[in-house]
Amino acid sequence: MAGTARERARELATRLTELSRAYYVEDDPQASDAEYDRLFRELEALESEDPRLVTPDSPTQRVGAPPAEAFDSVDHALPMLSLANCFDDDELAEFDRRAREGAGRDVIVYCAEPKFDGTALNLRYEDGVLVRATTRGDGTTGEDITANARTIRNLPLCLASDNPPAVIEIRGEVVLPRSRFDALNARLEAADQKPFVNPRNAASGSLRQLDSKITAQRPLAFMGYGIGAVEGAALDGGLYAQLGQLAEWGIVVSPYVERVEGLAGARAYYDAMAERRAGLDIEIDGVVFKADEAYVRDELGFVARAPRWAIARKFPAEETTTTLDAVDFQVGRTGALTPVAKLTPVFVGGVTVSNATLHNMDEIARKDIRVGDRVIVRRAGDVIPEVKAVAERGENSRPIELPSACPVCGSAVERIAGEAVARCTGGLVCAAQRREALKHFASRDALDIEGLGDRQIEAFVSEGLLQTPADIFRLHTHRDALVAREGYGEKSVANLLASIESAKDTTLARFIFALGIREVGQTMARDLARHFARLDALRDEAGAYLEREAEARAAATTKADYERRMSAEGLQIVPGVGARVAHCIAEFFAEQRNREVIDDLLAEGVHWPVVDVEDKAQPLSGQTVVLTGTLTELTREAAGARLEALGARVTSSVSKKTDFVVAGDKAGSKKEKAEKLGVRVRSEADLLTLLAEHEAG
């Protein structure tokens, strides 16, 4: 048994050393923090049970990793020791008990502060001037990175003091704020460079650049948390007071440092920081409690690698490693398919996680995630857990494939080139999209069914009364059931059914908008109705478009050639309809189930006036108008409606194709853009005159 324990201890020590070097020296993390902590605690337990297993080079007897050979080594005047960790209230209580008994106190006053998730740095100031900056290294010897540290913008090169200590070593953490981390990674990816795994990795990698000009481009920050060697000055013995002194000298310290009394105060501080954590711009992975009084610290002393008077209370791990067992695709209310990882259950972020988002197929490809891989899972606060990266390729891993049919309704899945999101095309029949499709269909700007609001639709769908939009016009067959519902009565049901009956008489533009075709808003629906005049003509053109699209792809020699071939085709002749919108329209009508629902609606009596294509000429036909600023005589909505009644197309953006802009009071950028482009700008008075002339005619 002893031999087995010794072999396991050496195996753990070797693995932890490898992980430590990969993280601190090579800037290439090979495991999550939770995985490292688990292995470290296992080794600690083995050595505690049998002290003969402790070796001088055990990871439990040292801190971090040796300095890289690329930098000069520097011995610390005082060791930069690590902190013991605890992971729950019981372990914190045990630490407090030992501290009270060791110091002979009933209550220990602690200096409490966030535990920054960065990389430790020791700054040596002589007569107030920064002369050296060194990494933690192995706790005794660190790397001289003074040139790089000088580039950190919030780190003072001279202390703000007329009488600084002859020598003082200030210790703290170099961090990369969350708000700057994504921007940094975006720049690296744009330059075809490898992005950083997390802010702490970015801070460490930035500090250890051989070229300090690169470090200067990284938005690093320094947060002071303590003092090492001091010569030529007598500082206050209280740690809280010392941090206040650092702040006076110009060193940035956390604004969340507090003095707390005893275990109750420590627990309350931990809970408060855990709640505040998600909103902080700097990542923290726990809080640190240090005995504030010098007398207490002297009484308690040190163990091999950590002071007895301090402890880090870690938050539940935000990252850990587990196996990706399978991938399901969930369908959202807009039809978007989201890949969801099915994981071997693992405890992370305070809860057991068995599902995590994979975002979309582009992210899966970028991270090269496959079923069967060991993956790093991240969960922060209430954020949905995500698969962050692959930790280890599975022996029998297999690629993740996008389904060709919707897992909910069986309709075709479409992914437009250049888009990250794939979508179900069964907008009118997909159960996952049903509620939102029905709400949109009955909304004010669509069929405007009074009395059938979101709350009623939610209830009717739950009770099985509504599945497709056509079911709205069959609600009269459930009259008795509706009257019997709580909050309803004969009059309210009669009003609802009358509103539904009235909604059958609509316009083609409203009907097209009500269908909820992706990328087709009110203006686009009106343009389609004006151009095609009949629904059958739009449906036929949509069907033909997909055929021509396939032919153009086969025949075109370049992208420009393909776009030229398609730009003159039916759907794209309509103002504002480009290739993307045309494809969405075509895909909607190509889905057989959508066509069946439309036929069902027509069979239930939904209708609109038929306009003869030859009779569509109107005074402002073909003109594009933009309204901006505040109108006094009309609302912009009313003005837009009257312009459209005269055949104009009212849009929200100004371009060279805009015929004129109506500028009301406080018109801003749109008016300026029109003037730069040479587009005519008219006043509200001009508009009223124009409307009066054409409406009278």
Scored b (16 or more CB within 10 A) or e, 35-57 reads bbbebbeebbebbeeeeebbeee
Which token pair is 691?
A: 């409307």
Please write down the long-range contacts of 406-413, taking CB distance under 8 Å and 24 or more positions apart: 406/331, 406/335, 406/337, 406/430, 406/432, 407/328, 407/329, 407/331, 408/331, 408/432, 409/593, 411/591, 411/593, 412/587, 412/590, 412/591, 413/337
Contact 633, 688 (CB under 8 A): yes
Across 394-399, average pLDDT? 92
Element (H or E) spanning 492, and its range?
helix 490-503
Mean pLDDT for all residues in the chain: 86
Residue 68 in this model has a pLDDT that exceeds 70: no
What does the alpha-carbon distance between residue 317 and residue 342 come to, in Å, rounded to a whole number? Answer: 19
Give residue 693's pLDDT band: very low, low, confident or very high (50, 70, 90): confident
Element (H or E) spanning 229, and its range?
strand 221-231
Q: In what order do the strands lie in the sheet with 119-126?
A: 129-135, 119-126, 167-175, 221-231
> pLDDT tens across 227-285, in order?
999 999 888 889 999 999 999 999 999 999 999 999 999 999 999 999 898 888 898 98
Which token pair is 34?
A: 């939770």
Tell me the percentage of the chain whose pLDDT exceeds 90. 37
What does the alpha-carbon distance between residue 30 and residue 492 come to, in Å, rounded to a whole number? Answer: 65
pTM for this prediction: 0.50
Residue 569 in this model has a pLDDT that exceeds 70: no
Element (H or E) spanning 213, and its range?
helix 212-216
Provide the sign of the torsion angle of the four alpha carbons 35, 40, 42, 43, taken in this order: positive
Residue 66 in this model has a pLDDT that exceeds 60: no
Q: What are the structural domains, with CATH classification, of the chain?
A: 2-61 (1.10.287.610), 73-314 (3.30.470.30), 318-425 (2.40.50.140), 434-613 (1.10.150.20), 617-696 (3.40.50.10190)
- Give the amino acid at 498: A
Catalytically active residues, by annotation: 115
What does the alpha-carbon distance between residue 16 and residue 47 come to, in Å, rounded to a whole number? Answer: 14
Would you state the pLDDT for residue 418? 66
Which token pair is 344?
A: 């071997």
Would you state the pLDDT for residue 204? 83
Range with lowest mean pLDDT among 557-561, 593-597, 652-656: 557-561
Residue 326 in this model has a pLDDT that exceeds 60: yes
Across 586-615, average pLDDT? 84
Give residue 344's pLDDT band: very low, low, confident or very high (50, 70, 90): very high
Would you state the pLDDT for residue 131? 93
Q: What is the CA radius of gyration of the chain?
A: 34
